[in-house]
Chain A
Amino acid sequence: MGAGDYPPGLDAFIARRVDEIVAQKVEERLAAMKPKGPPSMTIIATKGTLDWAYPPFILASTAAALGWDVAVFFTFYGLNLLRKDLSSLKVSPLGNPGMPMKMPFGPGWFRDVDWNIPNIVQAGIPGFESLATGLMKKTIKNTGVADISDLRALCVESGVSLIACQMTVDLFGYDKEDFLPDVTEYCGATRFLPMAQKADVSLFI
């Protein structure tokens, strides 16, 4: 029997159905193979400022409270978040138009004022960053937001893996003595990526 004996469009129909059925079967098999453990999350933390220290620790501690397995990979400036002493973390409003500059003291109307200070002025005032950091810390305290070291301690306590990028430690010439003894391991991307691949949620911060 020649190909011409089949009804027109049959090949295309079969090809489409086979694709649909195979995709469905593969999904079923994969779901059956997946081990039934708790959900997992991996985070890559790359920022080393006071404001950006919050997202990884807030998300990690919340996920741990939900019973998830969590690992955070600290790389580049993010390594600063693993220091024993976090007092050097600062926040800069310079070149950051998204950051409101409000005073954490005084009467209500005064607190509501958003001080729009031009970049050139911010850059010219010595110690402006330290001033902004002091104001931010006061705001954090006033609003009941956790201190970074407290939040980090909660992560350690709830079993979050804190992983330090070995390459960054070497690159910046850091001393491991400066970092928390709770750092789970020092390793590279090759060790971390397979963990991220298996995670249900993976974030880059």
Chain B
Amino acid sequence: MDFDKELDARGLACPLPIVKTKKALAGMGQGQVLKIVATDTGSVSDMKAFADATGHELLASETQGKEFVFFLKN
């Protein structure tokens, strides 16, 4: 999937992946796509809840081995 920016949230525990995602999105333009790679197992449900609560569209949520990859639309 195409994306405009990538956030490496590997090795970070709750709530850092979400807090850093919010910060990254704040610096991006409307409609741009942010790719996030995390290793926190809680991030799967957190990212979905974050998208629901903030109105960002979660385009994809994938598990690749021990990593979780998300694509969020700003």
Please give the residue numbers on chain A whose beta carbons come within 8 Å of chain B beta carbons, in ascending order: 58, 61-62, 64-67, 143-146, 154, 158
Most A C-beta atoms less than 10 A away, residue of B11, B18, B22, B50 = B22
Question: How many residues does chain B have at the interface if contact means C-beta atoms less than 8 Å apart?
Answer: 15
20 more contacts with CB within 8 A, not counting A66-B22, A144-B16, are A58-B15, A61-B15, A62-B14, A62-B18, A62-B19, A64-B19, A65-B15, A65-B18, A65-B19, A65-B21, A66-B53, A66-B54, A67-B54, A143-B13, A144-B11, A144-B39, A144-B40, A145-B13, A154-B19, A158-B22
A124 to B19, CA, bound (A): 42
Asked if B12 CB lies within 8 Å of chain A CBs, one says yes
A-B residue pairs in contact (CB < 8 Å), sample of 24: A58-B14, A58-B15, A61-B19, A62-B14, A62-B15, A62-B19, A64-B19, A64-B22, A65-B15, A65-B18, A65-B19, A65-B22, A65-B50, A66-B22, A66-B53, A66-B54, A67-B53, A144-B12, A144-B13, A144-B16, A144-B39, A145-B13, A146-B13, A146-B16
Q: Shortest CB–CB separation between residue A38 and chain B, in angstroms?
A: 10
A154 to B11, CA, bound (A): 18
Residues of B1-46 whose CB lies within 8 A of A: 11-16, 18-19, 21-22, 39-40
CB neighbours of A158 from chain B (8 A): 19, 22
Q: Shortest CB–CB separation between residue A101 and chain B, in angstroms?
A: 20
A144 to B40, CA, bound (A): 9
CB neighbours of A58 from chain B (8 A): 14-15
